[in-house]
Amino acid sequence: MPILDSFKLDGKVALVTGGNRGLGRQMALALAEAGANVAITSRSIHRAEEVAQSISEATGRKCVGYACDVANPSDVESMMAQLIDEFGGIHIVVNNAGINIRGPIDQLTLAEFQEVLDTNVTGMWLVCRAAAPYLKEQRYGRVINIGSTLSIIAIAERTPYASSKGAVLQMTRALALEWAPYGITVNAMLPGPFATEMNTSLVEDPVAYQSFIQKVPLGRWGELHEIGGLAVFLASDASSFVTGAGISIDGGWTVM
């Protein structure tokens, strides 16, 4: 197959959790541009449907929005059942939904710590579990888990987020081994700083904003469109021998 054809996603169905804004929206758009039909989720059906329609209009691909709190097991099961009913199957799962609550450990509540773990770790586990029967049955799948630079290094005052993103990388590795016999690849993308809603407080603080530039050898924050290429690669047959990897997309931060 000519190399560029191996990146095409025609005939594939992709799910992107938290696909209604930020990195998730950008990856959903990139997957649709590469040919996939795409399901996106938000906790708000209105936000999901509005963005699904805009992706569909921009790409000509089918895109449907679902309401789903990834930390809620019945929401996840019901979303997956609706998706299978609507699209007839699933091939690509992008576990992107995530939150960050920052602060010194003695100023955080247990509820805040648990909320981050529930969303970033348990949510990912629940979505993978819900997709398992379909991916295993067809003996094909591409699972992409969104970790972070903080999956491998740390920053002060990030105990919930760093704990959760470390777990994302280890869950990725364990599941890559578990699903290798089924032809399902499981990889993690580890982004550095991108100016999304999650980082509004950092982007609006000139000192914090600049401090991240100093951590990044390329000398800048990532631009949203730069997340799409790696997502399409990992979702496609171009990455058929890549599994269990945690791939940094951080302007070189983690080699410092």
Decide: 70 and 76 in contact? Cβ < 8 Å.
yes
CB of 196 to ligand NDP, least distance (A): 3
CB of 165 to ligand NDP, least distance (A): 7
Beta bridge partners of 42: 67
CB of 17 to ligand NDP, least distance (A): 6
CB of 38 to ligand NDP, least distance (A): 14
Q: Cα–Cα distances in Å, from 214 out to 151, 193, 227?
A: 19, 11, 20
Site string for ligand NDP, 153-192 (x = CB under 6 A): --------------------------------------x-
The first and second tokens of residue 220, run together, are: 């800048």
Interface region with ligand NDP, contact rule CB under 6 A, candidates 3-11, 16-24, 82-90, 126-134: 16-24
84 Cβ partners below 8 Å, 6+ apart? Answer: 90, 134
CB of 139 to ligand NDP, least distance (A): 28
Decide: 124 and 95 in contact? Cβ < 8 Å.
yes
Side-by-side strand order, sheet with 92-95: 63-67, 37-42, 13-16, 92-95, 141-146, 184-191, 246-249
**Which of 66, 161, 182, 209 does the annotation list as catalytic?**
161
Amino acid at 217: P
Considering only residues 211-230, where is the footprint of ligand NDP by CB under 6 A? none
Q: Which of 9, 15, 23, 38 binds ligand NDP (CB under 6 A)?
A: 23
**Sign of the torsion angle spanned by Cα atoms 38, 42, 47, 49:** positive
Query: Is 20 an interacting residue with respect to ligand NDP (CB under 6 A)?
Result: yes
Q: Does the active-site annotation cover 161?
A: yes
Q: Which of 70, 94, 188, 234 binds ligand NDP (CB under 6 A)?
A: 70
d(CA 256, CA 216): 8
Q: Which of 99, 117, 242, 245 binds ligand NDP (CB under 6 A)?
A: 99
Q: Which of 146, 167, 186, 230 binds ligand NDP (CB under 6 A)?
A: 146
Query: Is 71 an interacting residue with respect to ligand NDP (CB under 6 A)?
Result: yes
Put residue 156 in one of left, alpha, beta given phi > 0 → left and psi -120 to 50 → alpha: beta
Considering only residues 27-56, where is the footprint of ligand NDP by CB under 6 A? 41-44, 47
* Residues labelled catalytic: 161
